[in-house]
Amino acid sequence: MDVLLVNPRFNGASEVSPLSLECLAAPLLADELSVAIVDMDIGSEKEAQALLMEALEGGKPLIMGVTTLSGSIASALAACGTAKKIHPPIRTVLGGIHATVLHEEILRENKEVDVVVRGEGEETLPELMKGNFAMASLEKIAGISYRQGHRILCNPDRPLLKDLGDMPPPAFHILDNRCYRTRSLSSSRGCYHNCRFCSIQSLYQGIVRQEPLEKIFIGIRDLRSAGAKRIMFTDDNFTFHPRRVREICEMIIQERLAQGVELYVQGRLDDFCRQPVMAQWLSEAGFKAVYAGAESGAQEVLDRYGKGMTTGDTKRGVSYCIEQNLMPVVSFILFGPWDTVETMLKTIRLAKELFENGAEIAYTECLIPFPGTPVQAELEKDGKWKESGGVYYFESYTGIDMEWVLKVCNLARAMARLIYGDEPLFPVRRVYYEFSLLEYLLQGQVPPVYDSWLALLPTAGRDGALEADRRQIEAAMGDIL
């Protein structure tokens, strides 16, 4: 085997295929190189490790390329260490956003990594293969950092690909479709917006490039041929250009590409405010949902995030989508560096309102200040950026303890499961229930629904497991409230 590409483990629950590796594989295959992909983020940890070892022992690849996000860097480095132990001659290459931002630190602290590819890798990785990692060839390859003795050398940046159409379509056939609930496709790269918590700018510097329509057509066709039933357009912002959205939708309708498959996109709700008919185009073309970040229900927090939209935009955008039977799946960040209890309550109340009006809602408990983001830079400057064992977090500007927030969220989660867990629609309503409980818990109050539920429990002969859960919740409330 020439090249082994690895998607490192995050939580083992990935439902979407690793598009970045399929894109990397395509030009390598076009150069008639043998390529395999090991996705360690599906199945059990034992199964993932066995897949990696089998590929290393059986294939003896010349190069192993590993993509990295901040949440999976530990797994990526462990994979490189495993590769060096099993097959010492192998050359290990790290890429992705995290490696791009922290390339020097990674090389300085991790001898198991030979080269870091900064930015896009579709041109860089084939050049590494052709140069066979000879030092004379490494010096000529743009966009890489590497080790020479005790020195870390950083070659000049490689310009972004001028025309995405110059690259072959992603190698979708290289992965087993049965391993994924959803396959991914991209019609563009980059985003014009400047959300201060987003790391995309580290790669694309605010530049947006579009895939040719013909290549998008080929991508959907190939995924359908592979047996895909759900396709997610994982563009950084699919909805940024309404005319482009209309062209894609017209092509999908004309070529009947949505037959037998459900389509999904990632976009921004304020884009629908500027062009409400876009929701109709997407719905008519077979798109089932749009995934969008509202982030906060407090305008002052949105402004801190540099989101460039208002809470009113969120409400209007959601309504336009619902009117056209395009499900908005709206995500929130409950607690960030500038949040107070009051701003968190605004977020909860906005999310509940959207759900009651027909949207789906999701949330992450705390903002993660990823390296390379403006939020992280500000926090670090003010001495409030923290890192421990590869986990990034922050000290609040408002004095709220993050550990307290996480404990309250865990309590709401356990309480919702205890009170509502037997309902048939609990999976759909879970976040709504948790937010309803958090509304009281964040204010130091016992939710009335808990007292009502408790009053209905028999005083004798209670189920043992139920009683144990109740006692844990009572103890947690005593600790938190």
Which residues touch 178 (CB under 8 Å, ≥6 apart)?
A: 227
Q: Letter for the amino acid at 336?
A: G
Q: CB 4: neighbour CB atoms within 10 A? A: 26
In this predicted structure, the answer to whether residue 459 has a pLDDT above a threshold of 70 is no
Which phi and psi (to 5°) does residue 295 adopt? 70, -55
For the segment 122-175, what is each residue's pLDDT rounded down to a tens digit? 999 999 998 877 767 898 999 999 998 889 999 999 999 999 999 999 999 999
For the segment 53-72, what is each residue's pLDDT rounded down to a tens digit? 999 999 999 999 999 988 89
Within the chain, which residue ranges are assigned CATH 3.20.20.70?
A: 181-337
pTM of the predicted structure, to 2 decimals: 0.92
CA-based angle 105:110:112, to the nearest 5? 140
| Cα 243 to Cα 189, 249, 271, 281, distances in angstroms | 17, 10, 12, 10
Q: Letter for the amino acid at 140?
A: K
Q: Enter the DSSP assignment of 162.
A: S
For the segment 231-289, what is each residue's pLDDT rounded down to a tens digit? 999 999 999 999 999 999 999 999 999 999 999 999 999 999 999 999 999 999 999 99
- CATH number listed for the domain at residues 3-154: 3.40.50.2300
For the segment 319-349, what is each residue's pLDDT rounded down to a tens digit? 999 999 999 999 999 999 999 999 999 999 9
Strand 385-388 relative to strand 391-394, pairing: antiparallel
Q: Mean pLDDT, the chain, as a whole number?
A: 94
Is domain 181-337 in CATH 3.20.20.70, yes or no?
Answer: yes
Q: What is the full DSSP assignment across 45-99?
A: HHHHHHHHHHHHHHH--SEEEEE--GGGHHHHHHHHHHHHHH-TT-EEEEESHHH
Within the chain, which residue ranges are assigned CATH 3.40.50.2300?
A: 3-154
State percent of the chain over pLDDT 70: 99
